[in-house]
Chains A and B, each alone.
Chain A
Amino acid sequence: MFAKTTSFLAIAAAAGVLMAAPALAQTRTNIQIAGSSTVLPFASIVAEEFGQAFPEFETPVVASGGSSGGLRQFCAGVGAETIDIANASRPIKASEIESCAAAGVTDIREIRIGYDGIVFASSANGPDFALEPRFVYAAIAANLPEGMAQPTLWSDIDPSLPAQRIVMAIPASNHGTREVFEEKVIFPGCEAVMGEGTDHEVCGALRQDNVTEIAGDYTETLARLASDSNTVGVFGLSFYEQNTDTLQVATMSGVTPSLETVASGEYPVSRPLFFYVKGAHIGVVPGIEEYVQFFLSDAMAGAGGRLEAAGLIPAPAEETAQTLDNFMNGVSVGQ
């Protein structure tokens, strides 16, 4: 009897939830965000503070998945089962705008939240590095000009560099960081070494013997540095600032990365960070407009705000004001 009643109850319960769920999913009351793992810490902080500051709205849920993964979910269509906001560490691509339009997502509002620096860091106990894009290219490129041997030690490239074995841990191509690393370091370095106008296909080929591509988080890169102290890793500036006791940062073209040098544009390896809002969901899912305003407020993304303390480099006030203006006036990057 016991087993009979319980199994009946269980089947009834299962049938009940399966039928009730789609109906419940239609009426979503919290903002749903997904995308770049670089933007995730900032978006999570704002989401939490938003939930605390606005008692009438629920705390938004922030998922990762990378810039491309987030935009793919974003472009899946309009409706409660699709996300409202996609975080991205790069601007949306034309191809993504097209696939968005094909699924009916035409009102896409771009929000630029600030800047992020990309730093080269090594073990705090090792020697100092003063890097240039051409040094980094020469260290890890598969294609070098004829007559130039592939270096083993950093000092083989330039006598100013330490006599340390070349090992680098760089972000894998699923990270938006990889694109910036190539555009701001590898390609300029390639032009300096191989000559102007070298094909990007040629430049982008890296050596396999001394480069590790990290698909996971920065903590994985940090673990590489701990296991092989010769490793030079690529990190976000915010991660480096949280771990200054174990990491030391290399200068790039003579500039030390910091909030100030990235904000002023002196430090070359930086990029803007974005999120994209689905216009069709504004007014349907409660709180989206308030979330955007709150995110761009001085207390969050502004100079001296919560996000600056977490490592985001604030955009100039006029730029933020322009971004907010565009959002409120419904300026869309979609088709």
Chain B
Amino acid sequence: MTEILETEAAANDRRRAQVRKSLARRNGAETRFKMLGLASVLAAMAFVAVLFGNILMKGVPAFWQYNLDAEVYFDPAVINLPERPVRQAGQSEADFRAEMLGWQRRLALVNWNRLIVAAVENAGSGVEVDDRAAVSIIDSGARFVLRDMVAADPALIGQTVPVRLLLSADGDNWAKGKLSRDLPDNRQQLTRPARDAIDALIASGAVHPAFAWHIFTNVDSRASPASAGLAGAFMGSFYMMLVVILLAVPVGVASALYLEEFAPKNRVTDLIEVNINNLAAVPSIVFGLLGAAVFINIFHLPLSAPLVGGLVLTLMTLPTIIIATRSALRAVPPSLRQAALGIGASKMQMVFHHVLPVTFPGILTASIIGVAQALGETAPLLLIGMNAFVANIPATPLDQSAALPVQVYLWQGNENRNFFEERTFAAIIVLLGLMILLNALAIWLRTRLERKA
């Protein structure tokens, strides 16, 4: 009896020991796996941190540019202009417009640089600067700022007005310390008097950094690099996204609804399904080639137009939206459909009154993520001519335009260092900001609508 008990106890002990031994091993494996997972997450986070840190470090300084607070005297001797024409009684519209054009033409021909030179000389740097050096300190777009001021209010002529003038790209680089001060004169962009004048004006407070709003309000510029902005590219991207939302979302959702709810299951629909999945995997540049061939060569749509870009991106986004919508529809329990049909709803009523409202959050998320993906797409746009230099804000989707990701590409290849260094990264920050905004919107809408549903 005791013997048997003993052997049983021994066997139990043995078993326990065995379990304990294997438990340690299994727990060890779990810990190792958890550590491995954590390490991967940390590595991924580190990569993202390095990427974002790099972009922010290089791009954020571009949002502050140096300005000169100048007193500009609108010298009537320099601005030799007749009165701004006023429409006379009985004057025809065409005559008035011709007269106005003539006045604007004379306004454009005024030597605005003379006013800028005088303003720089009177800024109180105490450094003797010649005309060329004075002009090289201020962005060449300042001429048009002064001209537009006079065009808006001709009474300014003869007055002295405080105006904030943007420093030129070279001047800004020098003020920001991007160029080594040890370099000899022949390897500096600005002459010695110009550099000394900037230093003196910074010390006196007349030249100081200010937030560069013009990055958002100006169009791209090569003639005055310091005042180049993203407004044209932003509107181009906006119109393209409008086309994508208007076309890809309804067409994508409608095709998904038909395929999932109405279409018979046969070889043809199987083939369609396989093709949609394949289409989602087609590289985006192929859509660009297709767009160039079809929309531009056959339909003769204009080159570089946001409409064409939108159509190409629609083709690219469609499969994403169809696939996501179908999986959202598949997740609806069949009982819901059966209940609706059971109380006498038609198939159409079942889909639109019961199934679609439940899947709405999923469809919305899919659409926004599809649009965000389209917003960042560059390769197909290069093939339909959206990499042209356009110095206008497009008024309609048919006007020529740039787009945000293409602007990043164009600025990266620009020969001016303030473009390929910091401004490229500033454009990336704006683009990333928009993406994060769109994705946040998707998440917010989803949680809100899911709670409602």
Contact = CB atoms under 8 A, between A and B. Distances in A.
B84 to A, nearest CB: 13
A163 interface: no
Nearest to A40: B389
B191 interface: no
Interface residues of A, number: 54
A56 interface: yes
A221 B249 CA distance: 43
A52 B187 contact: no
Contacts of B385: 63
B188 interface: yes
B94 interface: no
A245 B187 contact: yes
Contacts of B302: 21, 24-25, 28, 81
Nearest to A56: B101
Interface string B341-368: 0000000000010001000000000000
Nearest to A79: B300
A245 B144 CA distance: 30
23 contacts: A3-B352, A7-B250, A9-B246, A11-B251, A13-B247, A22-B300, A25-B300, A45-B222, A51-B391, A55-B105, A59-B390, A59-B392, A61-B304, A62-B388, A63-B303, A63-B387, A63-B389, A219-B412, A243-B415, A243-B417, A244-B188, A245-B189, A248-B187
Contacts of B247: 10, 13-14
A295 to B, nearest CB: 13
Contacts of B224: 48
B246 A242 contact: no
Contacts of A329: none
Interface string B382-419: 00010111111000011010000000000011111100
Contacts of A218: 415
Nearest to B242: A13
B250 A3 contact: yes
Interface string A20-60: 01101100101010100000110011011101111110110
B415 A239 contact: yes
Given A25-B302, A54-B108, A63-B304, 9 more contacts: A3-B254, A44-B223, A44-B391, A45-B223, A53-B105, A63-B389, A124-B187, A217-B413, A242-B416
Contacts of A47: 389, 391
B108 A52 contact: yes
A81 B300 contact: yes
Interface pairs A-B: 6 shortest CB-CB? A63-B388, A7-B250, A217-B413, A44-B222, A55-B104, A48-B223
A17 B300 CA distance: 12
Given A3-B254, A63-B389, A55 B223 contact: no
A53 B111 CA distance: 12
B390 A242 contact: no
B417 A18 contact: no
A64 B222 CA distance: 14
Interface of B: 101, 104-105, 108-109, 140, 144, 179-180, 183, 186-189, 221-224, 246-247, 249-251, 253-254, 257, 299-304, 307, 352, 356, 385, 387-392, 397-398, 400, 412-417, 420
Interface centre among B180, B223, B299 (most CB of A within 10 A): B223
A6 B247 CA distance: 10
Given A3-B253, A25-B300, A48 B221 contact: yes
Contacts of B398: 17, 21, 24-25
A297 to B, nearest CB: 11
Contacts of A81: 300, 302
Most buried by B among A10, A11, A243: A10
A112 to B, nearest CB: 21
A243 B247 CA distance: 46
Contact of B251 (A7, A17, A21, A216): A7
Contacts of B189: 242, 244-245
Task: Give chain A's interface secondary structure class.
Answer: helix
Contact of B391 (A9, A48, A242): A48
A26 to B, nearest CB: 9
A227 to B, nearest CB: 15
A238 interface: yes
A306 interface: yes
Interface in A206-263: 216-220, 238-239, 242-245, 248
A21 B253 contact: no
Given A48-B391, A63-B389, A243-B417, A21 B222 contact: no
A1 interface: yes
Contacts of A22: 299-301
Contacts of A4: 352
A10 B250 contact: yes
A202 B136 CA distance: 48
A328 B385 CA distance: 31
A10 B105 contact: no
Contacts of B223: 44-45, 48-49, 306
A58 B392 contact: yes
Most buried by A among B222, B304, B307: B222
Of A6, A61, A239, chain B has the most CB atoms within 10 Å of the CB of: A61
A63 B400 CA distance: 11
Contact of A3 (B187, B188, B356, B392): B356
Contacts of A34: 388
Given A3-B352, A10-B246, A45-B223, A245 B188 contact: yes
Contacts of B420: 219
Given A25-B300, A54-B108, A55-B105, A61 B415 contact: no
Contacts of B400: 30, 61
Given A47-B389, A124-B187, A55 B417 contact: no
A55 B97 CA distance: 11
Contacts of A18: 299
A7 B391 contact: no
Given A45-B223, A63-B303, A63-B304, A216 B413 contact: yes
B54 to A, nearest CB: 15
Contacts of A11: 250-251
A264 B146 CA distance: 38
A1 B254 CA distance: 12
Contacts of B301: 21-22, 25
A242 B398 CA distance: 36
B354 to A, nearest CB: 14
B179 A242 contact: no
Contacts of A53: 105, 108-109
A66 to B, nearest CB: 12
Nearest to B416: A242
A273 B364 CA distance: 53
Contacts of A21: 299-302, 307, 398
B183 A245 contact: yes
Contacts of A51: 391-392
Interface string A299-319: 000000010000000000000
A241 B69 CA distance: 29
